Chain A
Amino acid sequence: MTELVVDVAALVKRFGVFTAVDGLDLRVGRGEVHGFLGPNGAGKSTTIRVLLGLYRATSGRVRVLGHDPARRAAEVTARISYVPGEVTLWPNLTGQEILDAFAGLRGRRDADAERRLADAFALDPRRLVRTYSKGNRQKVVLVAAFAAPTDLLILDEPTSGLDPLMEEVFQQCVRDAVAAGRTVLLSSHILAEVEDLCDTVTIIKDGRLVESGRLADMRHLAASTVTARLPAEQAVMILQQLRQPGVSVDAGIDTVRLAVPRDRVGTVLAVLVDANADDITCTPAGLEDLFLRHYEVAAR
């Protein structure tokens, strides 16, 4: 079993009568990129603030890098890089001065990495923060986070203000960080980003755990989508054959849409091919499907 960098069990966080996080488990192993997903207001940022020791847990066990952040916040955060979703910086300092301040407070810095990352993100650090757009403010904090010699990166919707080009740079930075042995906890709404980067994900809703595990395993459990156009005269007979255990059938006027468990995809496709069906498509389950399924549950 890999060493757990983040180990949260039965975390509860209440603000007065409002329960923001309700019995959450979150485990992130060393060297992983762990996606942290959930609809707005699901409790992601609250959980992250508990991990950083900014909020104290109401109950539950929280260990980050082997310490309880409620007791030893400074020891924990000294080894963490944090990027918040909403970045506010001191408006009358320049980007460079902000980088100086964070590195100075941390007491350890990699100036070469900082320069390299500022170049990669196309950040002009001589400008005053008040002239930066949201994306540029985010870049300052991203540069500081990736350049700092830390073990764990906690990124709370870090790319919401970045353009697609910078999104590429960001993904490369995450891969480099993992290659250097660091661990990443990535909260994000950009599912393509999570799908590209993450090995494992945790999905939460209303402060509760919905699903957690390796992305590959979750895909395996989820259904693939198969669509096809059926010859009209044989349609009824073919549909009869398609109604197998686990397969859900949604027959339209001349097309059929099927949700098929992974292990039955071959059988279903064989039926369709034998019946001379046209326009056959087969799409493996993506995070989008997994995620939307849970969103819909939330909507009910």
Chain B
Amino acid sequence: MTLTRLLVRRHRLLLASWPVLLVALCSTMTAYQDTYATEAQRRTAVELAQQNPATTLLYGRLPDPGTPAQLFTWEIGGFVTILAAIMAVLAAVAVTRAVEDDGSLELLRGCGIAPLQPLRSALIILAAMAGVLTTGCAAAIMASGGQVEGMTVAGAAAFGAVVGLTFLIVAAATVALAQVAPTAGQARLLGFTVLGASFAVRAFADTEHVDVLNWVSPLGLRATVEPFTDDRWAALLPALLTSAVLALTAVRLCARREFGTGLIRRHDTSTSRLRVHTTVGLIARLTRSSVLAWTVAVAAIGTLFATMGSGAVEQQRDGEIGGFLGAQLGTGDPAAGYLAYCGTLVGIVVSAFAILSILAARRAEETGLTGLVLATGVRRWTPVAAHAGVTAAASAVILTVTGVISAMITPAVLDGDDIAVRSLGYTIGQWPAITVMTGCATLLVGAVPRLAVLAWLPLLASSVLAMLGDLLGVPEQVQDLGFFGQVPDVAAENPHAGALLLLTTIGAVLILLGTFAVTRRDLRTE
């Protein structure tokens, strides 16, 4: 029990902030009651959404009759389950392999703790988190959605259970994989691969009407349980059983591996040499593999989304798509609207890369690596500047690769004018916004490294404005301030690039300020 408490204490920020975010998202149900003024309007929107492959790909199938509660489950439910799964991967690795890799568990193992106890404690924490998510989400819906059409207590409970079980099953799978992976980082990678596969299977099941596949994907739980439609409680059972089996498998695997290593062994010698002469070169080499992984992932996801837009674009030409996607598509050229939406998604993901990449600079400073680099005659501001520069360049590479691949493939499936140019433009056009995120993170790391975690705030705010601004009724003027909505249509008469220029300038100034600030303070060491 002490070990469980210790792990919770150590990861309290991670374990607390995600549930708060998810529960907050669950409190938005009333927004669906207000989105459509009349019953007829909603009916039209629901029919369109039901036949739309793009929204089906993203959120799954929207069941009849499309009450606000069902719309909520369909859209917000889609987000919340994916976020719960991401949290599951991060939390599962944090409480298992990460504490092994950083050496802190070794000490505890020397204090008379049984070999399997750390894993048991981790599983207890993850199961408790699943419980917290279930009750939290259900309670948030009951508290906020009382007046919403189609809202039932059973439905709210089923929705909460879907979120909790999605978390539990992904967490259990990640814990099992963490026993196999050679390092914590690779365990995380395997977890996210499972998540990507779950999404792909769910998307295929829904777009191709292969319903049985939804039973094998953790993200398919929403489709099999159908909260606010059928509330099939029995459909939760397979997921619960699978989680238990995965947890048991993890325990069995754990007993068969050595402490600090996975069942897969990592190669640990190499004769390669490092030819770097500058800090930029060194940082670039150190982030190489991570940039490669992000490029592949972002290019795949970005292109997939862009190519799935044909249905949405067609329908918007014919009539009107409401709700979340309708808000995203806007009132201009439907193809342009859809590609802008895809660009925003890519921008959000690459911003996360950029922020993580800058936060790595703080980590390097705390562990003493920056001190070693500075002791070779490198200037005080160079490491931070090099991190910012490499991050900005890597973001550009990820965007360019994604944009070019998307521009080559999308015109074949999406009808409209200038698809290739727009696809490229809307993707690469997110670079200035990402540079601002990079700048904010650099300034924080440079000036007040203690508060560097605040670097996530601009991304969170801009993402909420871009994705949920209309739904939450945020005024147009405020929405226009979001960093991601500034990319002009490159195929328009004379695109205004002023906002992008301004964003780039702000980003550059923030980076310079952060670089300067670091020379005014002591090195931060643990």
Q: Whose C-beta in chain B lies nearest to the C-beta of A99?
A: B274
Distance in Å: Cβ of A105 to nearest Cβ of chain B: 4
Q: Which chain B residue has the least Cβ–Cβ distance from A97?
A: B274
State how many angstroms separate the Cβ of A269 from the closest Cβ of chain B: 51
Determine the residue in chain A with the shortest Cβ distance to B523.
Answer: A54
CB pair B377 A106 closer than 8 Å: yes
Residue B31, interface by CB 8 Å: no
Whether A97 contacts B523 by the Cβ 8 Å rule is no
Contact between A52 and B268, CB atoms less than 8 A apart: no
**Pick from B268, B272, B371, B375: contact of A80, CB under 8 Å:** B375
The stretch from B49-57, B68-76, B110-118, B276-284 touching chain A is B276-284
List A contacts of B270 (CB < 8 A): 94, 126, 128
Residue A164 CB within 8 A of the other chain: no
Q: B354-378 CB contact bits vs A (8 Å, 1 = yes)?
A: 0000000000000111011111111
Q: How far is the CA of A77 from the CA of B379 in the complex (A)?
A: 9
B269 at the A interface (CB under 8 A): yes
A81, B375: Cα distance in complex, Å: 7
Q: How far is the CA of A47 from the CA of B266 in the complex (A)?
A: 40
**Does chain A have a CB within 8 A of B273?**
yes
* Number of A-B residue pairs at CB separation under 8 A: 110
In the complex, residue of chain B having the shortest beta-carbon distance to the beta carbon of A49? B523
Q: Closest residue to A15 on the B side, CB-wise?
A: B522
Residues of chain A contacted by B42 (CB below 8 angstroms): none
Chain B residues numbered 252-305 whose CB sits less than 8 Å from any CB in chain A: 266, 268-279, 281-282, 286, 289
Contact present for A106 and B376 (CB under 8 Å): yes
Binary interface profile of B, 374-397, with partner A (CB < 8 Å = 1, else 0)? Answer: 111111100000000000000000
Q: Is the pair A105, B378 in contact by a Cβ cutoff of 8 Å?
A: yes
By the criterion of a CB under 8 Å from any partner CB, how many residues of chain A are at the interface? 42
**For B367, what are the chain A residues with a Cβ–Cβ distance below 8 Å?**
88
B273 touches A77 (CB 8 A): no
B374 pairs with A53, CB closer than 8 A: yes
**Among A84, A89, A93, A130, contact of B274 (Cβ-Cβ < 8 Å):** A93
Asked whether B369 lies within 8 Å of A89 as measured between CB atoms, the reply is yes
The residue on B at minimum CB distance from A76 is B377
A212 to chain B, nearest CB (A): 25
Asked if A90 CB lies within 8 Å of chain B CBs, one says: yes
Interchain nearest-CB distance for B99 vs A (Å): 16
Contacts of B269 in A (CB 8 A): 94, 124, 126-128
Q: A54-B522, A100-B276, A126-B270 are in contact. Are A77 and B368 (CB under 8 A)?
A: no
Binding site for A on B (CB under 8 A): 183, 266, 268-279, 281-282, 286, 289, 367-369, 371-380, 522-523, 525
Closest 10 CB pairs of A and B: A78-B377, A82-B375, A100-B274, A97-B274, A54-B523, A88-B367, A105-B376, A106-B376, A131-B268, A55-B522
Query: Which residues of A are interface residues toward B (Cβ below 8 A)?
Result: 49, 52-56, 73-75, 77-82, 84, 86-90, 92-94, 96-98, 100-102, 104-107, 124, 126-128, 130-131, 141, 148
Q: List 15 A-B contacts (CB under 8 A).
A: A53-B380, A74-B379, A77-B376, A79-B377, A80-B375, A82-B372, A93-B286, A97-B273, A100-B276, A104-B282, A105-B277, A105-B282, A105-B373, A105-B377, A106-B377
A-B contacts besides A55-B522, A105-B282, 19 pairs, CB < 8 Å = A52-B375, A54-B522, A54-B525, A73-B380, A77-B374, A77-B376, A78-B377, A80-B375, A81-B375, A87-B368, A88-B367, A88-B369, A90-B286, A93-B286, A97-B272, A105-B279, A105-B377, A128-B266, A148-B376
